Structures are given as structure tokens and as C-alpha cells.
Amino acid sequence: MLRGERAPTPVLDRLAEAALVVSVAFPLLLMGGGMILVGLLAVGPRRKDSPELWICLPAGLAILGVFVGIGYWQWWRLPRLTVTRFAFDGAEVVIEAPARGCVTRPVGALRSLTESRGRRGLLGWWVRFDGAGWVFLHGATPNAWQLVDQLRPHVEVAR
């Protein structure tokens, strides 16, 4: 039986990562907030000298919206879909992820196995089962490579 369990990320590492991202993104966040403020002031009832500055409002909202979307995906959605532990006995796969709970599926229910690549190479794999949806198997999870190697032939047959 093949098993793997991903070690949780230490709190200090997550805080350091968040501080780094905030320090890099802070100027853009300030610019987006300033553009929203200028746009709201231009739309106000007393501003007759520069009404064309209302265009700053949607631009500022777009800048902040991009950061909100990236933050949602990176710190909420992806960690909830990441596999925390798995077990494979050749016929069934047991996967545990925070958003899906503990799910047991036969290998025949495997529909897709897609690599996820980043700037530094392979990050992991997106795995989709019938009735369980997508989960992300991180490349740093112990025995993840062996699991993917054993699941690949079953994906080829399913297509």
C-alpha cells in the first residue's frame, strides 16, 4: 500500500511569505486605494473642476480586485483543495483534503491527471475523480511521484 502525508507549513513560514508578498504589493495597493479615493471625490456633488477624474474609480477597483482574487486563490482556495494525505492499494484511492474531506474512489473513477508547472518547475498535479471533483496533489508530498506514476495508466484507459 502506497501512503503519503504532507507536513503542515509552519506558521512562521506562512507569516514570512505573507510579509514578503505585502511588502512587494504595498505600492500597488496604495495606488489602487488612492485611485478609488480620487474617483470617489470626482464623482462627489461638490467637484465641478475636474469631473473627468471619475475614470480613476474603476481602475482602482480593478487593481484592488486583482489582488483580492489572487489572495483568495493563493491563501484560501488552493490550500483547501491540496491533498493532506492519501493512500493507494492498487484498486482504490483514499484522498483527504480540507475542502473535500476524506474521499475513497475506485481507480476507474479517475478522469484527469494534469501537471501544474510554475517558474521553478513542477509544482504538483491536479487530479479529478467522478463525484469528488478536483484536488491538488503537491509535488513535495511524500510518495506523490509514485502515486502519479501508478495512476497514469488508468487515466490513459479512461480516455
Would the pLDDT of 150 be above 80? yes
CATH class as words, domain 82-157 = mainly beta
Give the C-alpha separation, 102 to 55, whole Å: 49
Would the pLDDT of 48 be above 90? no
Per-residue pLDDT averaged across 113-128, rounded?
A: 92
Judged by DSSP in three states, 17 sits in helix
Higher pLDDT, 75 or 147: 147
pLDDT of residue 149: 94
Give the C-alpha separation, 38 to 54, whole Å: 7
Give the C-alpha separation, 1 to 96, whole Å: 16
- Average pLDDT value for the chain: 90
Would the pLDDT of 31 be above 70? yes
Backbone angles phi, psi at 45, to 5 degrees: -70, -25
